[in-house]
């Protein structure tokens, strides 16, 4: 049944209509028509697809094409061949697409559902020239503009096709489990680049968002493979079942999961916004209200649809597994209780009511039970402590064993066989007078005329049929047969017919009653070849009902029906026996052999036996599928084996892709030797070997931690002038004979490697891999004398560490890259020819190097001053009095030198005099960057005030958060009030209008600044001013002009209360 809920009615809050006509099973999928009001498509668990017109009382239209399994997804989209209908002629311009459990997507014509639906796999194969087997499909989603469609597969891969020819644009290989949900971002957002966002959820708990804007707008000539997501949303603890983009916001997504919660995300920030926990059990569906941006609807296992507000939720993130653990414990307790009840009632099953359990619980199908639930079931049934009822059964069984030791006299008596002629035999047990009268009657029949009413072999004289002629005997047999039929003794009837010589009738009766056996089959040839052949076929059917499939196949061979025997074995999953039979009896090139291998491989793959499935694919000649199925295990050994399989079989592109995946996993585990060994088997992967070489050098030089394995050339014992020189020397020594001369081609190949934007949520090891990718590009650009690309890639190398918050590692990398402090010294002629953008990148690089050298100079001299003066100018006092500032970077300045790029304690050398600045610090005092940073701080402050204003408004409406996991993303009132202490206007005087006006003004100031300043920012200028002025109090090192510029910048841009307090003694 389908229920349509009118959520906008003002009279009845629960105004619903029910539709049940034409629906005879569970409804599993729904989809509204995108333009036609009231047209609702539905799918059921028996594979049926139909369309309802909810504004009429007509029964639904049902498609004549059925799926073999449950329909899970319905989607409306533009038609693709072979359906050539369009908007002209009154025909609809949309097709209805359905995806079901067998992995097939069908295209239905909504104007003619009686016609056959088309399988889009045929179009995909023809357009993209695909020869190998396509992975079963599990979900699909059309982009709102109808240009492309995303299809999720059982192996975790997502393919994006261009309509209408369904040309493959790209393949997203991020998930490793079955895809459950795909959703495109709406196309009415303010930013066009958001139109290409695709969210995907699988049986993993992580949601990935992919940016396909460039792929869609500029389709590549050949399909590209994407292995890195645009955004990663982590928080759920079980598989994802549904998701929906907010039609009112940009990049706002809600997801539901098996962990029993619904989660709202800010995708661009990768931040959790709100978490709803009102359902009991796991959630299955979700949708955002099209009219209210704060309302979401969710449906779950508890048979409810719930409406809730995003802003009124107490929690922001899903629970950390505790709630689902409690639910699983309840499920195990209920299972054990049911088993006890079943044993107490003598094994009888509980009564059912209309097909459902009396307790009201839903009967969960095989697809609905997760792997974790199955493990719980197994652990509960294999418990080492049996239930009390189990002990009782064991005592009874032991007592029964003891009783069997004594011989049973009843069993010693021989059982009397059943008589073949029971009716005539019973006539011999009458009275003496009746038996003597039978003798007179028999004599009369044989020597004169039979008495009146006496017919031997019939009625009361049935027994006389045995003593007269054959006709009487046949009459007696007929009566005996009727008696055996009434008693259900059909085998006796068969033997009576055999004795009568009616062999064909005996066999026919045995066939009808299912009483055929080996003896009857052995005498069947006496009735002729046709009768024997029909008898064998009937016996085969009887054996199949008795699940004796091997014996049935052997009997088919006796009548030369080899292919039927093979089909019988295959239909009952006896693939091993079927293949053995075919290989023993048929030629090696028999097509049915390849079909058997493919079917067996699919069954093994479904059960998780990937190695055995790969052998079947290899035997069938499907090397591509063999390598793919081995790689599904996704561990290092499986990926390495799959890469070798693909390489040996000639699947070059697949071998490269798998080898690269394996090498990435080994590199993430810091097993550098094995990673290089995996890539060395593929000559075309030289550029990735160079990347891993740089990553190894970078990791060994920066982390100073034990790794699984490393090469001798990466040992930190070898000291070079700089890291770039070391990389160049290692490349020339290790890869000189591997095609290293084609540097330009290697650089172009490396530029095609996907590199995500820097993020603070990435581990340090992964950050070093991304950073080393840009450093590899920089070295190649250096060797090509490409100054622009060199500067940009060096900037990206450092930005990954900077945005990741690893400032100590960043400082060490700056010293390794630029030991003399000049970013242009790596150029052979030391004369850079840069464009405007590259010039900005070089300036940003130099500023970053100077920033860390400034802190190194401060801490080195602070240690010396402490030994000489023993005064208050130690780093702690200086940080407390002169470098205290709001922001993470300023807090770092107040803590320790390592955090801001200063040397570690062992590198602090005592000084007898204060050193002089050995670099130009004026680059740190850029007024344009100071203005940009001030505008950015102002925007952040306004955003915080808007957040606290909204929080106060929600509290005034009654949405007070309780204890527990609070909305930590919203700033506290106290913090916002402290940040606003310097303002003259009080918080009560601020309104939404004034804050919005201030926000617009700040954003306008940012927009007027050059893009290069925002693309390549300098370190915090105000912070650098404070440090330089602090150094000037204990050393004349900073020049007067430098001090004057620092003071001017402090007066102009140091407007926050903490900076004003810290700069008071410098400006007074």
* pLDDT tens-digit map of 469-493: 888 888 888 888 888 888 888 888 8
Same domain, yes or no: 271 and 201: no
Same domain, yes or no: 218 and 153: yes
Rounded Cα distance between 887 and 122, Å, is 58
Ranked by mean pLDDT, the top range of 211-215, 1006-1010, 1040-1044 is 211-215
Same domain, yes or no: 123 and 160: yes
Tens of pLDDT, residues 440-458: 888 888 887 888 888 888 8
Rounded Cα distance between 305 and 382, Å, is 37
737 band by pLDDT with thresholds 50, 70 and 90? low
1010 band by pLDDT with thresholds 50, 70 and 90? confident
pLDDT: is 902 or 281 the higher one?
281
Does a structural domain hold residue 201? yes
What's CA 270's distance to the chain center, in Å?
Answer: 18
Helix/strand/coil (H/E/C) assignment for every residue in 306-320 = EEEECCCCCECCCCC
Q: 151 forms bridges with which residues in the sheet? A: 140, 159
Same domain, yes or no: 288 and 220: no
883 band by pLDDT with thresholds 50, 70 and 90? very low
Q: Do 843 and 834 contact (CB within 8 A), yes or no?
A: no
Rounded Cα distance between 1024 and 1014, Å, is 18
pLDDT: is 234 or 916 the higher one?
234
Does a structural domain hold residue 247? yes
Rounded Cα distance between 1046 and 922, Å, is 9
Structure tokens at 422: 């029971």
Rounded Cα distance between 121 and 982, Å, is 66
Does a structural domain hold residue 259? yes
Closest CA to 943 of 1014, 870, 979, 995: 995
Question: Which domain covers residue 476, as residue numbers?
Answer: 455-488
994 band by pLDDT with thresholds 50, 70 and 90? confident
- What are the start-end ranges of the E strands in 111-157? 118-119, 137-142, 148-153
For the cut 60, the answer to whether the pLDDT of residue 1024 exceeds it is yes
pLDDT of residue 71: 98
Closest CA to 823 of 916, 751, 722, 731: 722
Nearest 5°: the CA angle 444, 448, 451 is 50
Mean pLDDT calculated for residue range 580-603: 93
Edge-to-edge strand ranges of the sheet holding 231-233: 179-184, 197-202, 207-211, 231-233
Same domain, yes or no: 104 and 224: yes
Rounded Cα distance between 679 and 556, Å, is 53
Which bin fits 700, alpha (ψ -120 to 50), beta or left (φ > 0)?
alpha
Does a structural domain hold residue 61? yes
HSE on the CB side for 64, CA within 13 Å?
9
pLDDT of residue 10: 82
For the cut 70, the answer to whether the pLDDT of residue 900 exceeds it is no
Does a structural domain hold residue 807? no
Q: Do 931 and 1021 contact (CB within 8 A), yes or no?
A: no
Domain boundary residue among 466, 488, 510?
Answer: 488
Rounded Cα distance between 958 and 311, Å, is 11
pLDDT: is 899 or 295 the higher one?
295
1036 band by pLDDT with thresholds 50, 70 and 90? low
Least confident of 574-588, 998-1012, 1023-1037: 1023-1037
Same domain, yes or no: 124 and 268: no
Quote the number of domains for the chain: 4
Does a structural domain hold residue 333? no
Judging by beta carbons within 10 Å of its beta carbon (0-12, 13-18, 19+), is residue 830 exposed, middle or buried?
exposed
Neighbours of 486 (CB within 10 A): 8
Least confident of 333-337, 628-632, 694-698, 903-907: 903-907
- Here the CATH number for the domain that contains residue 218 is 2.130.10.10
pTM of model > 0.75: no
Structure tokens at 87: 């908007």
Least confident of 335-339, 349-353, 744-748, 759-763: 349-353
Same domain, yes or no: 209 and 250: no
Helix/strand/coil (H/E/C) assignment for every residue in 897-932 = CHHHCCCCHHHCCCCCCCCCCCCCHHHHCCHHHHHH
pLDDT: is 617 or 717 the higher one?
617
Beta strand pairing call for 305-309 and 283-288? unpaired
Tens of pLDDT, residues 794-808: 988 888 888 888 888
pLDDT: is 184 or 443 the higher one?
184
Helices (H) and strands (E) in the chain, counts: 38, 28
Domain boundary residue among 488, 505, 540?
Answer: 488
- Where b means 16+ CB within 10 Å and e means fewer, 777-787 reads bbbbbbbeebb
Rounded Cα distance between 892 and 173, Å, is 39
pLDDT of residue 330: 60
Rounded Cα distance between 402 and 398, Å, is 6
Rounded Cα distance between 818 and 258, Å, is 51
* Alpha-carbon separation of residue 607 from 610, 619, 955 (angstroms): 8, 19, 53
Ranked by mean pLDDT, the top range of 322-331, 819-828, 931-940 is 931-940
Same domain, yes or no: 145 and 225: yes
Same domain, yes or no: 213 and 268: no
Closest CA to 259 of 323, 175, 329: 323
The verdict on whether omega for the bond into residue 779 sits within 30 degrees of 0, i.e. cis, is no
Mean pLDDT calculated for residue range 323-347: 56
Q: Do 284 and 299 contact (CB within 8 A), yes or no?
A: yes
Beta strand pairing call for 197-202 and 240-245? unpaired
Mean pLDDT calculated for residue range 571-579: 94
Same domain, yes or no: 255 and 306: yes
Q: Do 259 and 785 contact (CB within 8 A), yes or no?
A: no
Same domain, yes or no: 256 and 232: no
Rounded Cα distance between 970 and 950, Å, is 9
Same domain, yes or no: 36 and 26: yes
| CA torsion through residues 839, 844, 845, 847, sign | positive
Does a structural domain hold residue 679? no
Share of the chain above pLDDT 70, in %: 79
DSSP reduced 3-state for 384? coil
Rounded Cα distance between 1037 and 1043, Å, is 10
Q: Do 663 and 678 contact (CB within 8 A), yes or no?
A: yes
Neighbours of 571 (CB within 10 A): 12
Closest CA to 23 of 62, 54, 66: 62
Does a structural domain hold residue 152? yes
| CA torsion through residues 799, 803, 806, 811, sign | positive
Share of the chain above pLDDT 90, in %: 39
End-to-end CA distance of the chain: 80
Least confident of 286-295, 628-637, 779-788: 779-788
* Alpha-carbon separation of residue 897 from 415, 504, 879, 885 (angstroms): 101, 104, 11, 16
Domain boundary residue among 321, 340, 371?
Answer: 321
């Amino acid at each position: 049944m389908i229920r349509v809920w009118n959520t906008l009615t003002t009279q009845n809050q629960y105004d619903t209509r029910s539709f049940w006509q034409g629906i005879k099973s569970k409804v599993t999928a729904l989809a509204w028509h995108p333009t036609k009001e009231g047209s609702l498509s539905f799918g059921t668990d028996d594979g049926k697809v139909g369309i309802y017109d909810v504004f009429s009382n007509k029964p639904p239209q049902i498609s004549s094409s059925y799926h073999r399994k449950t329909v899970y997804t319905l989607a409306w989209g533009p038609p693709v061949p072979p359906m050539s209908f369009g908007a002209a002629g009154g025909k609809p311009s949309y097709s209805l697409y359905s995806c079901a459990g067998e992995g097939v997507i069908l295209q239905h014509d909504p104007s003619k559902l009686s016609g056959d639906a088309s399988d889009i796999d045929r179009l995909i194969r023809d357009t993209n020239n695909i020869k190998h087997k396509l992975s079963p499909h599990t979900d699909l989603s059309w982009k709102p503009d109808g240009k492309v469609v995303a299809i999720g597969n059982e192996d975790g891969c997502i393919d994006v096709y261009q309509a209408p020819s369904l040309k493959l644009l790209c393949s997203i290989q991020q998930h490793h489990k079955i895809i459950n949900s795909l959703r495109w971002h709406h196309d009415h957002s303010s930013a066009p680049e958001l139109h290409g966002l695709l969210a995907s959820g699988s049986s993993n708990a992580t949601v990935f968002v992919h940016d396909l804007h460039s792929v869609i707008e500029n389709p590549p000539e050949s399909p590209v493979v994407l292995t890195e997501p645009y955004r990663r949303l982590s928080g759920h603890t079980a598989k994802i079942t549904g998701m929906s983009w907010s039609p009112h916001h940009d990049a706002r997504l809600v997801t539901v999961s098996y962990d029993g919660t619904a989660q709202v995300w800010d995708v661009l920030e990768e931040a959790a916004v709100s978490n709803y926990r009102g359902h009991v059990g796991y959630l299955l569906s979700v949708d955002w209200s099209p009219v209210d941006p704060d309302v979401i609807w969710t449906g779950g296992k508890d048979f409810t649809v719930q409406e809730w507000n995003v802003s009124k939720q107490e929690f922001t993130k899903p629970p950390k597994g505790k709630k689902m653990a409690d639910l699983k414990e309840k499920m195990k307790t209920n299972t054990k209780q049911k088993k006890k009840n079943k044993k107490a009632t003598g094994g009888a099953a509980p009564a059912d009511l209309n097909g459902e359990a009396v307790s009201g619980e839903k009967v969960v199908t095989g697809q609905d039970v997760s792997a974790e639930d199955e493990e719980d079931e197994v652990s509960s049934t294999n418990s080492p402590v049996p239930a009390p009822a189990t002990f009782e059964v064991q005592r009874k069984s032991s007592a029964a064993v003891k009783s069997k030791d004594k011989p049973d006299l009843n069993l010693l008596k021989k059982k009397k066989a059943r008589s073949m002629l029971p009716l005539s035999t019973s006539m011999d047990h009458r009275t003496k007078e009746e038996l003597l009268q039978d003798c007179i009657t028999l004599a009369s029949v044989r020597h004169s005329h039979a008495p009146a009413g006496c017919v031997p072999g019939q009625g009361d004289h049935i027994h006389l049929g045995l003593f007269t002629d054959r006709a009487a005997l046949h009459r007696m047999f007929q009566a005996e047969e009727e008696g055996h039929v009434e008693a259900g003794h059909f085998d006796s009837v068969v033997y009576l017919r055999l004795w009568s010589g009616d062999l064909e009738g005996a066999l026919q009766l045995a066939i009808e009653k299912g009483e055929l056996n080996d003896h009857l089959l052995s005498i069947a040839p006496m009735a002729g070849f046709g009768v024997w052949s029909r008898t064998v076929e009937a016996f085969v059917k009887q054996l199949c009902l008795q699940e004796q499939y091997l014996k049935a196949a052997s009997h088919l061979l006796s009548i030369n029906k080899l292919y039927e025997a093979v089909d019988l074995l295959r239909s009952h999953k006896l693939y091993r026996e079927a293949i053995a039979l075919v290989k023993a009896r048929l030629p090696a090139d028999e097509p049915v052999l390849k079909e058997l291998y493919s079917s067996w491989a699919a069954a093994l793959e479904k059960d998780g036996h990937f190695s055995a499935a790969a052998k079947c694919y290899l035997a069938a000649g499907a090397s591509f599928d063999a390598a793919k199925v081995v790689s599904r295990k996704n561990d290092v050994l499986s990926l390495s084996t799959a890469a070798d399989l693909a390489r040996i079989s000639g699947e070059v592109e697949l071998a490269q892709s798998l080898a690269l995946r394996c090498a990435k996993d080994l590199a993430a585990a810091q097993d550098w030797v094995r990673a290089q060994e995996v890539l060395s088997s593929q000559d075309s992967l030289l550029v990735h070997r160079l990347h891993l070489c740089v990553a190894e050098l970078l990791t060994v030089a920066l982390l100073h931690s034990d790794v699984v394995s490393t090469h001798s050339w990466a040992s930190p014992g070898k000291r070079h002038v700089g890291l770039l020189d070391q990389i160049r020397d290692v490349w020339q020594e290790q890869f000189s004979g591997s095609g290293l001369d084609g540097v330009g081609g290697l650089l172009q190949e490396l530029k095609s490697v996907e590199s995500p934007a820097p993020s603070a949520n990435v581990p340090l090891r992964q950050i070093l891999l991304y950073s080393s990718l840009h450093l590899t590009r920089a070295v190649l650009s250096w060797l090509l004398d490409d100054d622009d690309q060199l500067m940009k890639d060096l900037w990206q190398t450092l930005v990954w560490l900077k945005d990741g918050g690893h400032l100590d590692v960043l400082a060490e990398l700056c010293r390794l890259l630029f030991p003399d402090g000049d970013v242009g010294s790596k150029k052979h002629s030391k004369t850079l020819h840069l464009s405007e953008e590259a010039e900005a990148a070089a300036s940003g690089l130099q500023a970053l190097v100077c920033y860390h050298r400034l802190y190194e100079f401060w801490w080195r001299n602070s240690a010396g001053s402490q030994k000489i003066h023993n005064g208050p100018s130690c780093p702690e006092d200086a940080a407390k009095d002169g470098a205290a500032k709001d922001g993470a970077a300023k807090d770092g300045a107040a803590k320790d030198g390592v955090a801001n790029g200063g040397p570690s304690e062992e590198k602090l050398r005592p000084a007898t005099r204060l050193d002089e600045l050995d670099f130009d610090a004026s680059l740190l005092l850029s007024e344009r960057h100071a203005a940009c940073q001030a505008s950015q701080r102002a925007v952040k402050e306004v955003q915080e005030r808007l957040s606290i204003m909204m929080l106060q408004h929600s509290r005034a409406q009654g949405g007070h958060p309780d204890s527990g996991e609070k909305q930590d993303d919203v700033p506290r009132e106290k913090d916002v009030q402290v940040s606003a202490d310097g303002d003259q206007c009080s918080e009560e005087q601020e309104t939404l209008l004034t804050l919005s006006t201030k926000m617009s003004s700040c954003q306008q100031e940012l927009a007027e600044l050059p893009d290069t300043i925002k693309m390549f920012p300098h370190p915090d200028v105000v912070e650098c001013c404070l440090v330089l002025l602090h150094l000037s109090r204990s050393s004349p090192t900073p020049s007067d002009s430098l001090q004057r510029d620092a003071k001017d910048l402090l007066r102009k841009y140091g407007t926050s209360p903490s900076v004003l307090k810290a700069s008071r003694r410098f400006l007074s």
